[in-house]
Chains A and B, each alone.
Chain A
Amino acid sequence: AQSVTQLGSHVSVSEGALVLLRCNYSSSVPPYLFWYVQYPNQGLQLLLKYTSAATLVKGINGFEAEFKKSETSFHLTKPSAHMSDAAEYFCAVSVPSGYKLSFGAGTTVTVRA
């Protein structure tokens, strides 16, 4: 079975500061990993995904994540936070040929002016 743990249910950053959201995974086989963002009253939007190619993955809106097998981690970063980054972020895991995503509990990001 696959699972992810997101460390920190809430993160508050100043505008222009680094955004770091932590995700650790558990999987019995090499995983596929994803970060999704959810704005209030909306569905999920894919930010980026890791599917066993380059370990540093760049996504939309300036976000990137690095797959570290030795640490079983897939942390999400953005060098400079913008007010529009305020949202809920979910890390998810699946496996090759799998049919479902297993999500973490989410991290709410607030951005201070």
Chain B
Amino acid sequence: ETGVTQSPTHLIKTRGQQVTLRCSSQSGHNTVSWYQQALGQGPQFIFQYYREEENGRGNFPPRFSGLQFPNYSSELNVNALELDDSALYLCASSLYRSDTEAFFGQGTRLTVV
């Protein structure tokens, strides 16, 4: 059984660019959530996808968008990058959309310059 994997592990982008982050959920999990963790802070919920539909969204602007594919993997897209988007982006998968146990990936460290 493979765990949650994210790619890439690190990347650097220029302000104004667009970025796509990827996440493969744990085997058998149909729900994926994305979190943003700024330096020195706790993770903040961005949104959740359940069976290819957005199931809930945190307080993030529309330039943060996502997708979930039939195999339950997911993408996080961020348009018009800002310096404040620099953070660790964490993906978590769970067996059900209201499951109490979420399994986190290693994260993608995004630096916007």
A and B assemble together:
yes
Q: Are B43 and A32 in contact, with the CB atoms below 8 A? A: no
Q: Does B42 contact A (CB under 8 A)?
A: yes
Q: Which residues of A (89-104) have their CB < 8 Å from a CB of B?
A: 90, 92, 94, 96-104
Chain B 91-106 interface mask (CB, 8 Å, partner A; 1/0): 0100001101111111
Which residues of chain A have C-beta atoms less than 8 A from B101's C-beta? 46, 49
Question: Nearest CB to that of B102 among chain A residues?
Answer: A101
Q: Does A45 contact B (CB under 8 A)?
A: yes
Which residues of chain A have C-beta atoms less than 8 A from B56's C-beta? 99-100
Q: Are B44 and A103 in contact, with the CB atoms below 8 A? A: yes
Q: Are B33 and A99 in contact, with the CB atoms below 8 A? A: yes
- Write the nearest CB–CB distance from A21 to chain B, whole angstroms: 13
Chain B residues within 8 Å of chain A by Cβ, number: 26
Q: Does A17 contact B (CB under 8 A)?
A: no
Given A43-B4, A43-B90, A96-B98, the answer on whether A103 and B42 have CB atoms closer than 8 Å is yes
Which residues of chain A have C-beta atoms less than 8 A from B55's C-beta? 99
Chain A 81-92 interface mask (CB, 8 Å, partner B; 1/0): 000000000101
Given A98-B98, A99-B97, A105-B42, the answer on whether A43 and B107 have CB atoms closer than 8 Å is yes
Which residues of chain B have C-beta atoms less than 8 A from A102's C-beta? 45
Given A43-B106, A43-B107, A44-B90, the answer on whether A51 and B41 have CB atoms closer than 8 Å is no
New contact pairs (5) apart from A51-B100, A90-B43, CB-CB < 8 Å:
A41-B106, A49-B100, A96-B98, A100-B33, A103-B35
